[in-house]
Amino acid sequence: MIEPLKVKEAFKRIEKENYAFRVFLKNRADEDELDKQFLSLHKELFASYDCSKCRNCCKMYSATFEENELGPVAAFLNMPIEDFKAKYIKEDFGEYLLKMRPCSFLESDGTCKIENCKPLSCREYPYTNKPERLFSLLSIVEFSGICPVVFEMLERLKKDYGFKRRRY
């Protein structure tokens, strides 16, 4: 597995290839089969990966909150919800996004300050165990520049599908 600090640079070198692989999958992959492959890779790779040694998602990806997820975090931090929103949240087309990257709640030891009430988007990232991945390949390619596990998933899938690497 690629080291967390190296994934961004490695992705830049194969970015076009990964986007080409997305088109390849869109044209050739069976939706259900692809979900099974992602699910199997997700289970296998995350079972032996220690995310606390990485936390690239907390550093490079903006978590989103549903409206009903804001109150519990504000309460946990002992803040009025309006103060919490003003300090930590920006609204973007009806979405509530964390303002700061790296995330304000990422502790120096890799733990999350709001672990017990963090939003679903944090708990489910990178969503590779969810159905309908064929329709989320754009996000998956973007995540392969952040998450070492997703980077590895795409490399394995390229081999499984006999995807020919090209120079772009």
Which residues of this protein are in contact with ligand SF4, per CB under 6 A? 4, 49, 51, 54-58, 63, 103, 105-106, 112, 114, 118, 122, 125-126, 146-149
From the CB of 2, what's the least distance to ligand SF4, in Å?
10
Which pair of tokens denotes residue 85? 């929103």
Contact 2, 151 (CB under 8 A): yes
3-state secondary structure of 112: strand
- Name the minimum Å distance from CB 44 to ligand SF4: 13
Q: Closest CB to ligand SF4 among 24 and 88?
A: 88
Which one, 23 or 86, has the nearer CB to ligand SF4?
86
- Host H or E run for residue 72: helix 67-76
Based on CB atoms, which residue is closest to ligand SF4, 23 or 120? 120
| CA distances from residue 145 to 59, 60, 121, 140, 150 in whole angstroms, order as listed | 12, 10, 18, 9, 8
Taking the complex as a whole, the smallest distance from the CB of residue 38 to ligand SF4 amounts, in Å, to 14
